[in-house]
Amino acid sequence: MNDNNPPANWTDRAIGLGAGLASALLFAASAQGSSLAMALAYFAPLPLLIGALGFSLTGALVGALLGAGLLTHLDEPVLGPTFFLLFAAPALISAALARRNFPTRVAEASPLPRYFGPGALLALMMALAVAAAWLGVGALVQLHHGFDAALQAMSERFGPALDEVVESLKKLSPEIEAEPVKRLILSSIPAAFAASQTLLLAINLYLAARTVEVSGRLGRPWPALPENLVLPRLVAPLFVVASGSAFSGGLIGLLAGVFAAASGLCLAIQGLAALHAFTRDSRFRGFLLSALYAAVFALEPWSFIALALFGLVESVFSLRAHKARRLNAKQEV
C-alpha cells in the first residue's frame, strides 16, 4: 500500500500531536455533564481526524495516546481508556484507510490510484462501532456472570431514571408492566450507542475531510457522495438476518439488534445519498431536498426506517448504477 500524502515533516507531526491532545481536551470537557459539554462530545474526534488526514497520522496517534494518558492520571482512571478506545482509535483507523491508496492488479492497471470509497469507509466505521458495543456488552456479562444478572445490575444502578420513564408511560397506559419496559430500555442502549457512534464518526470524518480538502492537503480526490456512497453488498443481507434475529431475545437478540441498528443507519444514509443522486438534474432539486429533510426530521424515527428500506432496495437493485447506464446509453446515441 502506498500513501499518497507527502511525507510529514516535524511541523506536521507537531500539529498532528496537538490535534490529538485537543480531541482529548474536548472529550474531557464533554464529561462535565452540562448540555454544552455533552454537545462537545459529538465533535471530540474532529481535531484528531483533521490532524491525521491533513498533517501526520503518527503525530495524531501520539497526541491521542498522550491525551488518554493525561486523562487517566488527572481525572477518573476510566476516562482515558474510554476516550482512546471509543473515540480516538476508531477515528485514527478511519483516517488511516481514508488517506491510503491501493495498487491495482496488472489486469486492471490504471493511471489513477484506488482509494477506499465512502461506502466502504462508512461500513468500516459501522463495524468499529458495533465491535465497541459488543465488547461493552461482553464485559458486563462477564463481570456479572450472566446476561440476566447484568441486566438486573444495570436496572438497579439506573433505577430512578428508569422509574421515571415507566411512570410517564403508565400515564398513557396503566397496564404497562415496569420490569419488561426496563429490560427493553436497557437492551436498546447498546444498539443506540452503535448507531449514534457510527453517525458521529461519519459526520466528523466528512467535516474533517472537507476542511482538509479546502487547505489542499487531503491527498486524494474528493468523491461525489450522492453517486459514490455505495455500501459493500454484504451489508444488506447481514442487516436482514440481524433484524430477524433481534427478536429472538436474550444475549443473541441484543447483539443482533446492535448490528441491525448500526447497519440500518448506514442503509438510511445510502438511501439519502441515492435520493440526492436522483434529484441531481431536477430543476426543483432545492425544493425537493428541503422537503425531504423537513420530512426526515419531522417524522423520525419512521423517516429513518423508510430511508433504510430504500437504501436496502438500492443495495439489491443498484438503482443509481442503472440510471447512470441509461444516461450513458442516451449520450452515445
* pLDDT (tens digit per residue) in 128-175: 999 999 999 999 999 999 999 999 899 888 878 888 887 887 777 777
Residue 202 has pLDDT above 50, yes or no: yes
Residue 51 has pLDDT above 80, yes or no: yes
Contact 17, 11 (CB under 8 A): no
* DSSP one-letter code for 102: E
Q: Would you tell me how many other CB atoms lie within 10 Å of the CB of residue 235?
A: 24
Q: Would residue 138 count as lying in a domain?
A: no
The helix-helix angle for 89-98 and 45-54 (nearest 10°) equals 30
Contact 315, 235 (CB under 8 A): yes
User: What is the structure's pLDDT at 3?
Assistant: 46
Please provide the DSSP assignment of 26-46 as one string.
HHHHHTT-SHHHHHHHTTTHH
Element of type H or E holding 198: helix 178-214
Q: What angle do CA 40, 46, 49 make, to 5 degrees?
A: 155
Using a cut of 0.75, tell me whether the model's pTM lies above it.
yes
User: What is the structure's pLDDT at 142?
Assistant: 94
Q: Would residue 277 count as lying in a domain?
A: no
User: What is the structure's pLDDT at 107?
Assistant: 44
Rounded mean pLDDT, 245-259: 94
Q: Would residue 63 count as lying in a domain?
A: yes
**Which residues neighbour 210 within 8 Å (Cβ) at sequence distance 6 or greater?**
222
Residue 92 has pLDDT above 50, yes or no: yes
User: What is the structure's pLDDT at 2?
Assistant: 41
Residue 333 has pLDDT above 80, yes or no: no
> Residue 111's pLDDT band (boundaries 50, 70, 90)?
low
Dihedral sign computed on CA atoms, order 11, 12, 13, 19:
positive
Residue 4 has pLDDT above 60, yes or no: no
Q: How far is 201 from 92, CA to CA, in rounded Å?
A: 11
The residue with greater pLDDT, 102 or 23, is: 23
Rounded mean pLDDT, 273-288: 92
The residue with greater pLDDT, 85 or 332, is: 85
> Residue 218's pLDDT band (boundaries 50, 70, 90)?
confident
The domain containing residue 66 runs over which residues?
Answer: 1-116
Domain count, the chain: 1
Q: Would residue 8 count as lying in a domain?
A: yes
Q: How far is 143 from 167, CA to CA, in rounded Å?
A: 30
User: What is the structure's pLDDT at 230?
Assistant: 94
Q: Would residue 47 count as lying in a domain?
A: yes
The helix-helix angle for 178-214 and 147-157 (nearest 10°) equals 80
Residue 44 has pLDDT above 60, yes or no: yes
Q: Would residue 32 count as lying in a domain?
A: yes
Q: Would residue 130 count as lying in a domain?
A: no
Q: Would residue 129 count as lying in a domain?
A: no
